[in-house]
A = this chain, B = another copy of it.
């Protein structure tokens, strides 16, 4: 079994307008609700690829119940902790169709009480003893300590689970101390780790290899539309994505992360896994919804994904 952990999930509200005029009342053409939050996005991707999975983390209130129903529709098993008086946050993704533009507005999320955090720790201990893979992904609700990912990953590692981390800032810096199996930093998160903006790919490889030496098995660095860089003990390679016409790139990182984990769960090599993840992510970029992709389109795009050793 595979489980995802989301400490600050969200509902994604996708709002489509023709074009925004400032100081004006702009009519919404279309509004859609989707699963939001990084870990829950990964769950959605795994489920869309046909892999049953469990979603856990923190969730509550009216928006929480909508999110649970969206996850349920995808046959994702929900085992969330529900803090009292806690309302799951909403992220707003605004799409300006005429300008081929989009941007996201994200709420910070509500504070989680200590009792609920303790319940979550118990849930992670329980789940990681019955799961092979556990995915920790996304920002953290106020109330958690910065070492929360470190603590949870240590517990899961101890139970023999392969752990995956996608986080940023202090949560990432603390989290990597627990030596997760794989991390997926983007370029900003690599800056968090190195302490400055790397000058070139060579410098990123150098720091990724330092992380590998510390005990992390795979470092997958996403570079936006420039693809990704994968480093393990035995190899380092860059992946160049196919050129596609993007509609909404929000969620591409989660789709990339989720589909690489899907392949690794099915014992693929790193090259196979990340080539596949790149194609699925390119398909996602062409879709309106934040975790939507077309697997047949992704399979057609596979041939246009290039891999080069670095």
Q: Which residues of A contact B (CB under 8 A)?
A: 15, 17, 20-28, 31, 62, 92, 94, 101-108, 249-250
A-B contact pairs, 20 of them (CB 8 A): A15-B92, A15-B105, A17-B105, A20-B105, A22-B102, A23-B101, A23-B102, A23-B103, A23-B249, A24-B104, A25-B104, A26-B103, A26-B105, A26-B106, A27-B108, A28-B106, A28-B108, A31-B107, A62-B62, A94-B105
Instruction: State the oligomeric state as a number of copies.
Output: 2
Q: Separation in Å of the A133 CB from the closest CB of chain B?
A: 26
Residues of B within 8 Å of A101, CB to CB, are 22-23
Distance in angstroms between the alpha carbons of A74 and B162 in the assembled complex? 55
Q: A94's closest neighbor in chain B, by CB?
A: B105
Shortest distance between the CB of A65 and any CB in chain B (Å):
10
In the complex, A25→B108 CA distance in Å?
12
> Main SS of the interface on chain A?
strand
Question: How many angstroms from the CA of A92 to the CA of B105 in the assembled complex?
Answer: 11
How far does the Cβ of A106 sit from chain B's closest Cβ, in whole Å? 6
By a CB distance below 8 angstroms, the chain B residues around A20 are 103, 105
In the complex, A62→B26 CA distance in Å? 24
The chain B residue with its CB closest to the CB of A20 is B103
**A107 — which chain B residues lie within 8 A by C-beta?**
28, 31
Nearest CB of chain B from residue A89's CB, rounded to whole Å = 9
Cβ–Cβ < 8 Å partners of A15 in chain B: 92, 105
Q: Are A103 and B22 in contact (CB under 8 A)?
A: yes
Which 8 A-B pairs give the minimum distances between C-beta atoms? A25-B104, A28-B107, A22-B103, A22-B101, A26-B105, A28-B105, A20-B103, A62-B62
Decide: B22 and A106 in contact? CB cutoff 8 A.
no
CB contacts (< 8 Å) of A22 on chain B: these are 101-103
CB distance B250 to A25 under 8 Å? yes
The interface residues of chain B lying within 8 Å CB-to-CB of A92 are 15, 92
Residues of B within 8 A of A23 (CB): 101-103, 249
